[in-house]
Amino acid sequence: MRTQTQASPNKLSGKVALVTGASRGIGAAIAQRLASEGAAVAITYSSSPQQAEQVVSSIRRDGGQAIAIRADAADPKAVVNAITHTVQSLGKLDILVNNAAIAAMAPIDEFKMEDYERSIAVNVTSVFVAVKEAAKHMKSGGRIITIGSVNSDYVPVPGLSVYALTKGAVASFTRGVARDLGPRGITVNNIQPGPVDTDMNPASGAFADTMRTYMASGRYGKVSEVAGLVAYLASDDAAFVTGANIKIDGGFSA
């Protein structure tokens, strides 16, 4: 009789991951999940050094290896330096998670040009720069994962046009880069969360009751649920998944 084998708790043992914008929320949960599965993890932050160090400390307390790197995602040089620092400090780069992002909201005729430019810089240009630089270091089996948004193709409320623009760009970029890097054995995927309970978008916030009415599940997502999907895409189990834009939204866009 065949016995069922249990999943290894260290599927990512020996791997090195960089998670951008990981001092809190979804990014912190991703970093901690990848570390729990055996990866050495570098995280970036822009303005929250204490929170970043708390994430690093929590990983180290659990026996993992982690470092924090200050890097403003709006600065291409800082993004390149973060990847270089990761490789120099941890020896290589196997997994890149583009998590850093901002969400500016306003009606299109009131949207400030400086907010538009920063949105493009953080949500689009930083992803391009990070992928371009990471590809120089990755070998076959490399994983590139971007945290996009369900708003790339579903925008249920006004004021999100520029945010949707940036996340739509990420979705298209994912499909194109998957073609570029597929022959090298590197997968490229984009995770598209719906409303997730974070300090920036709490399940008890002003818009929460309205958002829940759009969701088949009737609840906000958990950061651990997004992190779980990242861990799957980063593992060998997902070697045949690439160029995908995967929604994790509790039926928000159903």
Please write the tens of the pLDDT for every residue from 37-72: 999 999 999 999 999 999 999 999 999 999 999 999
- Close Cβ partners of 63 (under 8 Å, ≥ 6 residues apart): none
Whole-number pLDDT of residue 8: 55
pLDDT tens digits, 90-147: 999 999 999 999 999 999 999 999 999 999 999 999 999 999 999 999 999 999 999 9
**CA nearest neighbour of 17 among 45, 46, 55, 44:** 44
Judge whether 133 and 79 are in contact, CB under 8 Å.
yes
- Give the neighbor-by-neighbor strand order of the sheet with 187-193: 66-70, 40-45, 16-19, 95-98, 143-147, 187-193, 245-248
- Close Cβ partners of 147 (under 8 Å, ≥ 6 residues apart): 26, 27, 30, 97, 98, 99, 101, 190, 191, 193, 226, 230
pLDDT tens digits, 169-213: 999 999 999 999 999 999 999 999 999 999 888 998 788 888 899
Instruction: Tell me the catalytic residues.
Output: 163
Judge whether 244 and 190 are in contact, CB under 8 Å.
yes
- Would you identify the CATH topology of the domain 16-248? Rossmann fold (3.40.50)
Q: Is the pLDDT of residue 2 over 90?
A: no
Does an H or E element contain 11, and which?
A: none
Whole-number pLDDT of residue 4: 40
Interhelix angle 126-134/161-181, nearest 10 degrees: 10
Gap between the Cα atoms of 111 and 104, Å rounded: 9
